[in-house]
Structure 1
Amino acid sequence: MLRPWKLEIHLDHYSEKAIYLQIADAIIAQIQSGRLKSGTALPGSRTLAAELNLNRNTIVEALNVLLNEEWLVSKERKGTFVADTLPVFSLTRKSGFTLVSNEAPKSIFEVNFDDGHPDSKIAPITELARAYRQIFNRKGKWQMMGYTSELGDIEFRRAIVHMLNHQRGMQVNEQEICITRGSQMAMYLTAQCLLENGDYIMIENPGYQPAWNAFELAGAKLLPVRVDKEGLIIEDMTAHLKSGKRIKALYTTPHRQYPTTVTLSLQRRLELIRLSNQYGFTIIEDDYDNEFHFGYRPLLPLVSFPELENYVYIGTMSKVVAPALRIGYLISSDIALISKVGSLRKIIDVQGDAIMEQAVLQLINDGTIKRHLKKATHYYRNKRDFTDSLLKKYFTDRADYDIPDGGLAFWVVPGKEVNWMDISEKLQRKGVKIITPDSYSYGKPVNGIRLSYGSLSEAQLETGIKVLADLLFKN
């Protein structure tokens, strides 16, 4: 196919406008001028990237803007073309055109430092699709089309339990687990079935705010516990426990604390278990990214200690398979609690996705998950090391951070106090998005930032970290 359009895009790398927006606006200008006519084919993203000497992801973001705003249309197996019916435009975007629309503008960022998402591009999608097809080709497949247990497919529960007992030193059975649609559903069910109005729950500060929201929705009040280099501070917990308040639980992320990534020390783990048994509060352990570990064998969960009496353990398979597939689970030796969880689950969601559970079970049984984890761990270790090299390059002697031995994020603390809201606004104008510290702080925001690397390319990481460093340390 002939592609007669010749590139005439001039980029200003010193402009506050993100590069992908400059590209989008340049193409819009040429469409508006009549130089690019309806039906004209555009070069492919790889060709554009090569000619402009840019990362292909930047070109893809620019094309996505134009597709979303309907300046372009994509035709399967043919390419991208100027739309036949063009949108109405006005001169409101700086140095270019934008749509006149009553809808809120869509947020599109060249770099998005999320809270630690995996890279969906390496997910075993082909294998999962094959597993689905094989399930529907089985004899007796009609049996899977009816209702199953509200706690999840029994064979899938057994497989998860076997994995946890074998790999994480736990001693649980299939009657002590409920499969959920992601870990947040597990958090909600736990909060509703464990907590009552007027109960108190201790939380890590900084910590995971979506979990706090679930606890408060159940009527509980939050008691913050500070975090240092060894994890949550036991003295803060002891002070709360001696206050006379009706403390029902502690929510903790001991393996890699969210957001700081620190691991709870063994001494504090033992003291935490002792306090839980002494005061009778339940430890809600959120083991949100246990799978990706780059060093020696990771520390075992708190619930692997047989002396721990009261616990709920929450985990997820979504990061292992794909974020879009919501697979979480909660475990407790309190069978009465599991029964309450099952009853509530049945009210809001009669059962889980039995077909998906069967498909993932097949990937577990045929070794796909094990192979994928090995590949993904190597992939993320290389990304971590690359991110570390960027931090050394742009943040040297101006911020404090430790190299995490697993997970998908760094915790970075600048050497000076930072107005993170101001920095966030300036970053967004440059096409970079961060999660501001107020999103994981109870009370006064901490002066640190969680920089994720799992879902970003190397080019995006360098762009984002460089722009962030320029804003943080320009004085």
Structure 2
Amino acid sequence: MLRPWNLTIDIDRSSAKAIYIQIADNVAAAIQSGRLPKGTALPSSRSLAAQLKVNRNTVIEAIQLLVSEGWLLSQPRRGIFVAAQLPYGSNLYTEQKIAWSDHQAPQRIIFDDGNPDSKIAPVEQLGRAYRQLFKRSARWKMMGYADPRGHIDFRQEIANMLNIERNMRINEDHICISRGSQMAMYLVAQCLLQHNDYIFVESPGYHSAWKIFEKAGAKLIPIPVDENGLKVEELLPHLLKKNPIKALYLTPHRQYPTTVTLSKERRAQLVDLSNKYNFIIIEDDYDYEFHFEQAPYYPLASQPELINNVYIGTLSKVVAPALRIGYLATRNEYLLQQITELRSIIDIQGDNIMEQAVLELIQDGTIRRHIRKATQLYKKKRDFMVAQLDKFLPDHVDYTSPKGGLAIWLSLKHQIDWALLFQKLKEKSVHIPHPENYTKERTFGGIRLGYGSLSEELIKEGITILAEVLEQSKLQS
């Protein structure tokens, strides 16, 4: 493919900033400004290195960084292209983050629903692991087709992690690697659910998962959530009706969106009901790694009494959202075989090279060190967020300080005009997740605010603006 132009990149060789970071800065800025539209082919690493008069490995490092962050896409035998879907709300290079509303207005302060801070992602270590892989004498073996369940060494390491840290009893034959937890959920739904099957879901809950289950033809039965998690006693009336209830989907560790933890008593009740009525528990453990105080509860999947379950996890929040590696674990051999067959049809295999690169980071301790560092940072941000809520929002919201994770749930003390709220926030260049993301009700009782990806400065400014706008949007009772 001919690229009849040179990409203008300014390099300051006297700067303390690494040259590959400067290259990445320039490319990311060009993408954000629209100078490099989506789908644009970049020059080859060789020609770009010659143009910039730098070592080719320096250019490769910059490209790998941008690929891992989601700005660029590598297409085998074709080249490197600007990604069709840019990383939402994330910018590795600047403190201020940019999103686009329906009218293409930039929003300066983005409270997402719980994304990690991409600026602390171990991208340099990941790039180094990539390079080491390609230096190995048997590197040609990585370029062929692999097991659709994922590389066996990587599956073994994930199984080890789940057994040691989460008290599970599985091996690599119970694991399937996927491109993020969303894909894992889709595979499970397509292989488990049929038209007019029923599935229990939490209310409020994870809307993206609901859409996956409905796409498979299932009907949702919403079960309310309180301060102790899913109200398990409300399952029984539906079970006694003898409807074809196939599964329950829940987030027991840190319920989405409210962040509450399912109590021990309800966990035991849920296991008993699942075994008695033969429905599968689909457990989505989306941010288990980040806990701030006491040790977290082990997953439901760790309980040996539980017969029917699928456990879903992700590394995207551990490393970076653009790193699309999720996994599912189940002892149901028939279901896992169906999932493997479907995976091989739609994707043939996962990202074998990425799996081995991340495996290197797990085995050399990089991931563990990163989790420890990230947990300390997120706890500091949580504490800062709580201090701002206490200072600016005591008249508007109640909350419980989360024991971990990347977001906080605010219960509103009064009714508000939601349309006016979002209009005012937009005028102030502030974004918050819309409650339609986690409920189908017409009335919304709370707001989920992520703090992991924002600086303390932007958290404070955002909460100050939110307090002002909540007062303006308050409905008179």
TM over 0.5: yes
* CA drift at 1:443: 2.8
Structure 1: how far apart are the matches of 2:177 and 2:286?
A: 15
* CA drift at 1:426: 1.5
2:348 aligned partner: 350
**Counterpart of 1:68 in structure 2: which amino acid?**
S
Segments of 5+ residues of structure 2 without an aligned counterpart are: 1-9, 11-24, 36-51, 54-100
Q: Deviations over 1:17-57 (max 9, x none)?
A: xxxxxxxxxxxxxxxxxxxxxxxx9xxxxxxxxxxxxxxxx
Deviates more, 1:233-242 or 1:122-131: 233-242
* CA drift at 1:64: 6.8
- Among 156, 165, 176, which residue is 1:158 paired with? 156
**Counterpart of 1:226 in structure 2: which amino acid?**
P
Are the equivalent residues in 2 in contact too, given 1:147–1:351 (CA < 8 A)? yes
2:305 aligned partner: 307
* CA drift at 1:419: 2.5
Structure 2: how far apart are the matches of 1:314 and 1:391?
A: 32
TM-score normalized by the length of structure 2? 0.78
1:454 aligned partner: 452
2:38 aligned partner: none
Q: Quickly say closer, same or farther: Cα 1:357–1:66, change in 2 above 3 A.
A: closer
- % of aligned pairs identical? 54
Are the equivalent residues in 1 in contact too, given 2:151–2:355 (CA < 8 A)? yes
Are the equivalent residues in 1 in contact too, given 2:150–2:350 (CA < 8 A)? yes
State the Cα RMSD in Å. Answer: 2.2
Q: Deviations over 1:86-129 (max 9, x none)?
A: xxxxxxxxxxxxxxxxx975342111111100000000001000
Matches within 5 A, 1:291-370: 291-370=289-368
TM-score normalized by the length of structure 1? 0.78
1:395 aligned partner: 393
Matches within 5 A, 1:430-449: 430-449=428-447
SS of corresponding position for 1:314: strand
**Residue 181 in structure 1 maps to residue 154 in structure 2:** no
2:144 aligned partner: 146
Structure 2: how far apart are the matches of 1:343 and 1:217?
A: 19
Matches within 5 A, 1:113-124: 113-124=111-122
SS of corresponding position for 2:370: helix
> What is the number of residues matched between the two proteins?
386
* CA drift at 1:446: 2.9
Structure 2: how far apart are the matches of 1:65 and 1:352?
A: 30
1:172 aligned partner: 170
1:405 aligned partner: 403
**Counterpart of 1:293 in structure 2: which amino acid?**
H
Are the equivalent residues in 1 in contact too, given 2:202–2:250 (CA < 8 A)? yes
Structure 2: how far apart are the matches of 1:421 and 1:246?
A: 39
SS of corresponding position for 1:319: coil
* CA drift at 1:257: 0.2
Structure 1: how far apart are the matches of 2:439 and 2:345?
A: 33
Are the equivalent residues in 2 in contact too, given 1:420–1:437 (CA < 8 A)? no
* CA drift at 1:445: 3.6
Structure 2: how far apart are the matches of 1:66 and 1:110?
A: 17
**Counterpart of 2:33 in structure 1: which amino acid?**
N
**Counterpart of 2:157 in structure 1: which amino acid?**
A
- Among 414, 417, 439, which residue is 1:416 paired with? 414
Structure 2: how far apart are the matches of 1:216 and 1:394?
A: 40
1:92 aligned partner: none
Are the equivalent residues in 2 in contact too, given 1:150–1:351 (CA < 8 A)? yes
Structure 1: how far apart are the matches of 2:285 and 2:32?
A: 39
SS of corresponding position for 1:321: coil
Structure 2: how far apart are the matches of 1:398 and 1:159?
A: 46
SS of corresponding position for 1:294: coil
* CA drift at 1:199: 0.2
Q: Quickly say closer, same or farther: Cα 1:107–1:344, change in 2 above 3 A.
A: farther
Matches within 5 A, 1:8-407: 68=33, 105-407=103-405
Structure 2: how far apart are the matches of 1:66 and 1:352?
A: 27
Segments of 5+ residues of structure 1 without an aligned counterpart are: 1-40, 42-59, 71-75, 78-102
SS of corresponding position for 1:473: helix
SS of corresponding position for 1:318: coil
